[in-house]
Structure 1
Amino acid sequence: MKKVFLFLMMSALFFSSCGEYNRVLKSTDYEYRYSYAKKYFNEKKYTKSAALLEDLYQNFRGTAYAEESLYLLAQSYYGQKDYQTASQYFETYYTMYGKGEYAELARFYSGYGLYLDSADPRLDQSMTYKAIEQMQLYLESYPQSERAAQAQEVMFELQEKLALKEMMAVRLYFNLGLYMGNNYESCVITAQNALKNYPYTKYREELMYYIVRAKYEVALVSLDEKLQGRYREVVDEYYNYVNAFPEGKYLRQVERYFNYASSRIQDSY
């Protein structure tokens, strides 16, 4: 009996809640609907608050509720983890209310939501680039903010994700070797671009190692007229590596490539 009674009570509460929400949706009293939108937002019922605010923020333009309703709409989508939609509304907010009460928070969450939505490095990184852009704009606008350090950490983490994507491409090109073309050259170009774009990445040593190694492999398959130049490139890249990492974990391997290449240069005279 107790279970039946509990079930009936829960059912009554559920239908009562649905009835209330439907009544609010049908109301033509905007202030009444807005009070419920804020109530649902505070109760973390973000789907309901967003549904109400989508219509309300348009009708509130030019009124005292306009600014807050737009910000709450963005936060409602953020609470649902729909970060892309939330970011769009946060961006709309700080574009319309550049000096508004929630302008700093809107700029921050616009980027932070996209950071949370950033894809695995193996996938498309459009959101990662957008998140970096938004965080950079936030730091430029609020360099002394209490959230500035967090924004910088987020940017560094996102840049490391992009560096990892490049690192994965470098490894792939090297492993493909001479399959359907000279992938070693693509390996070198990708690694060099990664070092240029992300000079402080934790993958810096590995990127430099692959440049030495790939140039060595290129030299091994070069035509005679290009051979000496390619060996010299191996030697040059070896010095770049050891100057940056005199006790690097790839030192033994690059020394082997250096010794072979330098001995071949000497033998040419």
Structure 2
Amino acid sequence: MKIRLVLVGFMAMLLSGCAGEFNKVFKSSDYDYRYEYAKQCFALGKYSRAENLLIDMISLKKGTDEAQESLYMLAMSQYMNSDYEAASETFRKFFTTYPKSPYAERASFYVGQSLYRGAPEPRLDQTPTIGAINAYQQFLDFFPNSKLRPEAQDRLLELQDKLVQKELLSAQLYYNLGGYFGNVNSNTESNYISSIITAQNALKTYPYSKWREDFALLIMKSKFQLAENSSADKRLERYRDAEDECYGFLNEYPDSENKSIAEKYISKCKKVIGD
């Protein structure tokens, strides 16, 4: 026990030294010595040093409890170094390899946490966001009574909101592009139709979204603009559809700040359709 305490104390002294000391440890063939040094690095928040040492420890300590601990510390070091993609893979590897480990619960949680930290803003590709959602859901399935459950659930809702925002931005983009051309053509119609379909699909997928009214507003506006920019043979039918959509919007959101838009559209539709 005394020898171990002396070793730990010596490690702490080395850690306060220069990079030359680290290189000596890194090249040392005394694996127990390197392992203890890596643990001290990790404990003192020197995660880059810990990561460099722990990568080899996983194979060198294979079949021991130290290999398991090394893999977990490696994953956490990568996470603390903001290398979230690598961290998610290492945490996943840990959970797959050691599903009964005392660290398994946190490793499963940190798969999702790593992907969450690396998830892009809503305008960009949301593949990492979907991966994070799946990871958190898997964590909740495996550990339904975990103390980390509330945090995982909060993250799930936040990530789902990001997916909804992505759909809202896409629908808004189609709507904006529809008006960009400024005259009746197939591109104009196609963009308004795409805006309608994107918004409608989002409402089906996320019926309780806080952006529900925003999607409904886009559908109403797109249907009206589609009617406005239609050829003669389609105008009457599309104005009727737009009018119905306006009434539906007012019924669902009678106190909406966009109420005047719906009323204005209804008035214009009636002039075309006739009372």
Q: TM-score range with shorter-chain normalisation?
A: 0.7 to 0.9
- Counterparts of 1:255 and 1:118, CA distance in 2: 40
Distance 1:76 1:167 in 2: 37
Residue aligning to 1:56: 57
SS of residue matched to 1:202: coil
2:210 matched to 1:202? yes
Describe the superposition over 1:218-255 as per-residue Cα deviations: whole angstroms up to 9, x where unpaired: 11222343333312322332243233322112111112
Q: Does 1:222 align with 2:230?
A: yes
State the Cα distance separating 1:14 from its structure 2 match. Answer: 9.0
Deviation at 1:213, TM superposition (A): 0.8
**Cα RMSD over matched residues?**
2.0
Q: 1:158 deviation in Å?
A: 1.3
| Aligned twin of 1:170 | 171
Distance 1:147 1:15, change over 3 A: closer
Give the AA of the match of 2:76.
Q
| Identical-residue share of aligned pairs (%) | 43
Give the AA of the match of 1:163.
V
- The answer for the alignment partner of 1:7 in structure 2 is none
Residue in 2 that maps onto 1:244: 252
Between 1:108-117 and 1:38-47, the stretch displaced more is 108-117
Question: How far off is 1:103 after superposition?
Answer: 0.9
CA distance in 1, matches of 2:217, 2:16: 66
- Check whether the contact 2:168–2:199 (CA below 8 A) recurs between aligned residues: yes
After superposition, residues 10-159 of structure 1 pair within 5 angstroms as 16-159=17-160
1:19 Cα deviation from its structure 2 partner: 2.9
Query: In 2, distance between residues paired with 1:166 and 1:90?
Result: 30
Q: Which runs of 5+ in 2 are unaligned?
A: 1-13, 182-186
Q: For structure 1, list consecutive stretches of 5 or more residues without a partner in the other structure.
A: 1-12
Find the aligned partners of 1:124 and 1:213 in 2 and give their Cα distance.
26
Shift of 1:161: 1.6
- The amino acid of 2:195's aligned partner reads C
**In the aligned structure 1, how far is the partner of 2:234 from the partner of 2:23?**
78
Q: Which amino acid aligns with 1:213?
A: K
TM-score (norm 2): 0.85
**Paired residue total:** 255
- Aligned residue for 1:21, secondary structure, equals helix
Worse-superposed segment, 248-257 or 206-215: 248-257
Confirm or deny that 1:188 pairs with 2:188: no
